[in-house]
Amino acid sequence: MSGKRSDRLAHQLRDEISQIIQRGEVKDPRVGFASIPGVRLTKDLGHARVFVSVYGSKEEGEATLKALKHAQGYIRTLLSKRLRVRQIPDLDFILDTSIQDGIRMNEIINALPEVQEQSDAPVHEDDEPQSTEHENT
Domain harbouring 110, CATH code: 3.30.300.20
Helix, strand and coil content of the chain, in percent to the nearest 5, comes to 50, 15, 30
Look at the chain and report how many structural domains it folds into.
1
Asked whether residue 125 is domain-assigned, the answer is no
pLDDT for residue 112: 81
**137 residues of the chain, pLDDT tens digit each:** 457 888 999 999 999 999 999 999 999 888 888 999 999 999 999 999 999 998 888 889 899 999 999 999 999 999 999 999 889 999 999 998 887 778 788 888 888 876 556 555 555 555 555 555 554 54
pLDDT for residue 1: 40
Asked whether residue 87 is domain-assigned, the answer is yes
pLDDT for residue 10: 94
Cα distances (angstroms) measured from residue 41 to each of 8, 38, 76? 10, 10, 15
